[in-house]
């Protein structure tokens, strides 16, 4: 197992290149199952989750390979319908194969993903949507078994849940509906940029989807889909993590390249309120910290609100912002595993229900800390960059699920950061 060792307090200056979006590429790889021939997906980040998805596709009888940053997926005609526990339990996004396999084979068995460290993560909305399209669903022996004996048919599907819309439930229903008979309307659909990218990929395959990026998606079913070529969008969460990094250290001045600034309005707005100077151009954001930071109030919401996947990183910034910041989590009310680790670095964060009250201090003090999930790991790295002394972030395999060579990218900006064996 690796750890990341950071000597804090260094300036961050220069340019950093953002990789392709993990949360776009995973459903897109699953969507390639719908095609009758090969798809080529470009700008794919080299991440553990991408390799897990490749393994899962192979178990499903698909030829899948990654060469450089391109993934080639050849579904063939011998698809298998079972996504097993050993893979689904390591990556929740495996649930994305539910919709495409049901669309292609009219039957599928996917292991139930279960909860995870960021909180309870049910899949009731996925199942509700697929049932509306005509699937008969049972849960047996830890597996979701879905079967559509007469094939799927278009329907009106309402996908709102207690925590708003669901990204992957929208993805699953949209993917299944591409091969259904008739037209599907998904209401209260999620409108995250990753879903827009998925819809564009599906349309290139021959699907007829409209309204993606809004809360009402229309999918007119077609008989079959072909393979295609598509480059995935830049990762807005990775881009956002670098923007916070430039703000968390004193005198940060970082140009984040190959990003889409329009996907990060909510973060840029909060960083500007916090005192960062942000300038935007096409595919580029420059972010500078100049002087003292100001406390902020942040509430996570579905897109275009502030993303839950940047909540922990924003909290790292709040810990070095004198005064009281309040961070409220509305998507995953328990996603606060990073709080106790940040407190080990000398700050005071109190939890009040789904809000964190952060008493920022001038200097965090470096400490050994434990990563609990992907975004919490990123927050600990950011805190380590700002802290005095040495921070060791343990269990960085979480980080490798979603950030491609983050220590190399930060090191090129001037951070003193390296990966070591435990």
Pick out residues in 52-111 that bind ligand EPU (CB under 6 A): 93
Whose tokens are 């480059």? That residue is: 231
Which segments within 304-366 are labelled E, that is strand?
323-328, 348-352, 355-360
In this structure, is the dihedral angle defined by the CA atoms of residues 57, 61, 66 and 71, taken in order, positive or negative?
A: negative
Which stretch in 124-132, 135-143, 210-218, 379-387 sits in contact with ligand EPU by CB under 6 A? 124-132
Would you count residue 331 as binding ligand EPU (CB under 6 A)? yes
Separation of alpha carbons 251 and 162, rounded Å: 42
Would you count residue 402 as binding ligand EPU (CB under 6 A)? yes
Q: Which residues are catalytic?
A: 116
Q: Rounded to 5 degrees, what are φ and ψ at 123?
A: -125, 25
Of 292 and 351, which CB lies nearer to ligand EPU in the complex structure?
351
**Least distance (Å) between residue 9 CB and ligand EPU:** 28
Of 375 and 409, which CB lies nearer to ligand EPU in the complex structure?
375
DSSP letter at 32 equals G
Among 125, 155, 207, 381, binds ligand EPU (CB under 6 A): 125
> Could you tell me if 181 and 153 are in contact, meaning their C-beta atoms sit under 8 angstroms apart?
yes
Separation of alpha carbons 237 and 257, rounded Å: 13
**Least distance (Å) between residue 74 CB and ligand EPU:** 23
Separation of alpha carbons 137 and 110, rounded Å: 11
Alpha-carbon distance values, 384 to 7, 166, 387 (Å): 7, 33, 5
Among 5, 6, 18, 26, binds ligand EPU (CB under 6 A): 26
**Least distance (Å) between residue 36 CB and ligand EPU:** 26
Would you count residue 383 as binding ligand EPU (CB under 6 A)? no
Would you count residue 334 as binding ligand EPU (CB under 6 A)? no
> Could you tell me if 371 and 395 are in contact, meaning their C-beta atoms sit under 8 angstroms apart?
yes
**Least distance (Å) between residue 29 CB and ligand EPU:** 11
Would you count residue 239 as binding ligand EPU (CB under 6 A)? no
Of 244 and 255, which CB lies nearer to ligand EPU in the complex structure?
244
Could you tell me where the DSSP H helices lie in 106-143?
124-132
- What is the strand order of the sheet 368-370 is part of? 368-370, 390-394, 2-7, 416-421
> Could you tell me if 38 and 227 are in contact, meaning their C-beta atoms sit under 8 angstroms apart?
yes
**Least distance (Å) between residue 121 CB and ligand EPU:** 5
| Token representation of residue 39 | 């798809």
Separation of alpha carbons 155 and 159, rounded Å: 12
Pick out residues in 150-189 that bind ligand EPU (CB under 6 A): 161-163, 166-169
**Least distance (Å) between residue 48 CB and ligand EPU:** 12
**Least distance (Å) between residue 365 CB and ligand EPU:** 27
Among 143, 332, 336, 403, binds ligand EPU (CB under 6 A): 332
**Least distance (Å) between residue 260 CB and ligand EPU:** 17
With contacts defined by CB under 6 A, how many residues of the chain interact with ligand EPU?
24
Task: Note if the bond before 175 is cis, omega within 30 degrees.
Answer: no
Among 218, 264, 308, 319, binds ligand EPU (CB under 6 A): 308
Which stretch in 77-85, 120-128, 382-390, 413-421 sits in contact with ligand EPU by CB under 6 A? 120-128
Pick out residues in 271-290 that bind ligand EPU (CB under 6 A): none
Of 23 and 321, which CB lies nearer to ligand EPU in the complex structure?
23
Would you count residue 43 as binding ligand EPU (CB under 6 A)? no
Could you tell me which of 391, 408, 411, 392 has the C-alpha nearest to residue 400? 408
Of 168 and 315, which CB lies nearer to ligand EPU in the complex structure?
168
Could you tell me which of 7, 14, 21 has the C-alpha nearest to residue 287? 14
Task: Give the containing element (helix H, strand E) for 136.
Answer: strand 136-140
Separation of alpha carbons 13 and 7, rounded Å: 16
Among 84, 122, 211, 346, binds ligand EPU (CB under 6 A): 122
Q: Rounded to 5 degrees, what are φ and ψ at 89?
A: -70, -20
Binding positions for ligand EPU, rule: CB under 6 A: 23, 26, 93, 121-126, 161-163, 166-169, 190, 308-309, 331-332, 374-375, 402
């Amino acid at each position: 197992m690796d750890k990341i060792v950071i000597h804090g307090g260094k300036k961050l200056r220069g340019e950093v290149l953002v990789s392709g979006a993990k949360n776009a590429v995973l459903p897109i790889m699953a969507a390639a199952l719908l095609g009758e021939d090969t798809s080529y997906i470009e700008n794919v980040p080299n991440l553990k989750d991408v390799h897990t998805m490749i393994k899962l596709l192979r178990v499903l009888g698909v030829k899948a390979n990654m060469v450089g940053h391109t993934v080639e997926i050849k579904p063939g005609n011998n698809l298998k319908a079972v996504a097993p526990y050993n893979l689904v339990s390591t990556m929740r996004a495996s649930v994305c194969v539910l919709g495409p396999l049901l669309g292609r084979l009219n039957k599928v068995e996917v292991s139930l993903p279960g909860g995870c460290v960021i909180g309870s993560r049910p899949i009731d909305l996925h199942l509700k949507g697929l049932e509306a399209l005509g699937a008969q669903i049972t849960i047996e022996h830890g597996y979701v078994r879905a079967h559509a004996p007469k094939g799927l048919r278009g329907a009106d599907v309402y996908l709102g849940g207690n925590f708003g819309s669901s990204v992957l439930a929208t993805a699953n229903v949209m993917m299944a509906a591409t091969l259904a008979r008739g037209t599907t309307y998904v209401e209260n659909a999620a409108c995250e940029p990753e879903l827009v990218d998925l819809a564009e990929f599906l349309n290139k395959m021959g699907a007829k989807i409209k309204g993606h990026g809004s809360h009402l998606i229309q999918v007119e079913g077609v008989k079959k889909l072909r393979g295609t070529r598509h480059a995935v969008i830049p990762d807005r969460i990775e881009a956002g993590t670098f923007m916070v990094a430039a703000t968390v250290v004193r005198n940060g001045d970082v140009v984040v390249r190959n990003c889409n600034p329009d996907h990060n309005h909510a973060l840029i707005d909060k960083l500007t309120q916090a005192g960062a100077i942000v300038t935007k151009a096409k595919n580029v954001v420059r972010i500078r910290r100049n002087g003292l930071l100001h406390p902020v109030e942040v509430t996570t919401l579905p897109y275009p609100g502030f993303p839950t996947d940047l909540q922990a990183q924003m909290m790292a910034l709040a810990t070095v912002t004198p005064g009281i910041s309040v961070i409220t989590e509305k998507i995953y009310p328990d996603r606060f595993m990073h709080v106790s680790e940040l407190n080990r670095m000398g700050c005071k964060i109190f939890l009040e229900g789904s809000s964190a009250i952060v008493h920022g201090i001038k200097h965090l003090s470096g400490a050994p800390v434990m990563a609990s999930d992907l975004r919490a790991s990123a927050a600990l790295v950011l805190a380590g960059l700002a802290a005095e002394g040495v921070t060791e972030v343990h269990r960085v395999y979480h980080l490798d699920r979603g950030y491609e060579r983050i220590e190399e990218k930060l090191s090129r900006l001037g951070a003193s950061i390296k990966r070591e064996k435990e």
